[in-house]
Structure 1
Amino acid sequence: MVLVELAVSVLQWDVQFGDLQANRDISAALLEQAAKHGADIAVMPELCNSGYAFESKEEALLYSEPHGGETEQLWLELAQAHQMVIAGGINERDEDGTLYNGMLVVGPEGVLARYRKVHLFDREKLFFAPGQEMKLITVKGVKVGLMICYDGWFPEYPRVMALQGAQLILSSSCWIGQPEPDSDRELSCITMHLGHAYMNGIFLACAVRSGEERGLHYTGQSCLLTPYGRMGQAAPALGDYVMTARFDMGWAESKQLGEMSDLFEDRRPELYTNLCKQEP
Structure 2
Amino acid sequence: MSLRIAAVQAEAQTGEVEQNVLKAAGYIRQAASELVDVIVIPEAFVTGYDDDAFAGPLPSSRELSWLAPVQQAVDETGMTVVLNTALARDDIRTLTDVVVFPGGFPVLAYDKQHLYESERTIFSPGNHGFSLAVSGMELGLSVCYDANFPEHAAAAAANNVSVYINSGAYFPGGEHRRDLHYAARALDNGMYVVFRGLVGGTKEFIGGSAIFDPAGRRIAHVPAREGLAVASIDPTVITRTRADQRMWTDRRANLGSYDRRGALPPISSSKARQG
The TM-score, its normalising length taken from structure 2, stands at: 0.87
CA distance in 2, matches of 1:69, 1:6: 28
CA contact (8 A) 1:172 1:208 kept: yes
> Is residue 85 of structure 2 the alignment partner of residue 90 of structure 1?
yes
> Is residue 204 of structure 2 the alignment partner of residue 210 of structure 1?
no
CA contact (8 A) 2:39 2:82 kept: yes
Decide whether aligned partners of structure 1 residues 272 and 23 sit closer, same or farther in structure 2, where only a CA change above 3 A counts.
farther
- Cα deviation, 1:86-112, whole Å, max 9, x if unaligned, reads 001111122x23211111011113334
List aligned pairs for 1:224-239, cutoff 5 A: 224-236=211-223, 239=225
Q: 1:151 aligns with which of 139, 146, 151?
A: 146
The match for 2:251 is 267
CA contact (8 A) 2:186 2:212 kept: yes
> Is residue 134 of structure 2 the alignment partner of residue 139 of structure 1?
yes
Percent identity, aligned pairs only, is 23
CA distance in 2, matches of 1:212, 1:111: 27
CA distance in 1, matches of 2:36, 2:206: 24
The match for 1:200 is 189
Q: 2:37 aligns with which of 40, 45, 53?
A: 40
Cα shift at 1:195: 0.8
Q: 2:178 aligns with which of 189, 193, 198?
A: 189
CA contact (8 A) 2:190 2:248 kept: no
Amino acid at match of 1:262: R
CA distance in 2, matches of 1:50, 1:254: 41
Q: Find the residue that maps to 2:51 and give its secondary structure.
A: coil
Q: Find the residue that maps to 1:62 and give its secondary structure.
A: coil
List aligned pairs for 1:11-90, cutoff 5 A: 11-55=8-52, 60-90=55-85
The match for 2:172 is 177
Decide whether aligned partners of structure 1 residues 122 and 131 sit closer, same or farther in structure 2, where only a CA change above 3 A counts.
same
- Cα deviation, 1:225-265, whole Å, max 9, x if unaligned, reads 111122111224x622122111212222456344xx63233
Larger CA deviation: 185-194 vs 218-227: 185-194
CA distance in 2, matches of 1:71, 1:239: 26
> Is residue 99 of structure 2 the alignment partner of residue 105 of structure 1?
yes
Decide whether aligned partners of structure 1 residues 63 and 10 sit closer, same or farther in structure 2, where only a CA change above 3 A counts.
same
> Is residue 232 of structure 2 the alignment partner of residue 243 of structure 1?
no
Please say which structure displays the higher CA radius of gyration.
Answer: 2
- C-alpha root-mean-square deviation of aligned residues, in Å? 2.0
Q: How many residues align?
A: 257
CA distance in 2, matches of 1:77, 1:60: 29
CA distance in 1, matches of 2:136, 2:66: 27
Amino acid at match of 1:191: L
CA distance in 2, matches of 1:156, 1:273: 18
Amino acid at match of 2:189: N
Contiguous gaps of at least 5 residues in structure 2:
259-275
Cα shift at 1:128: 0.9
CA distance in 2, matches of 1:49, 1:20: 5
CA contact (8 A) 1:67 1:92 kept: no
> Is residue 238 of structure 2 the alignment partner of residue 252 of structure 1?
yes
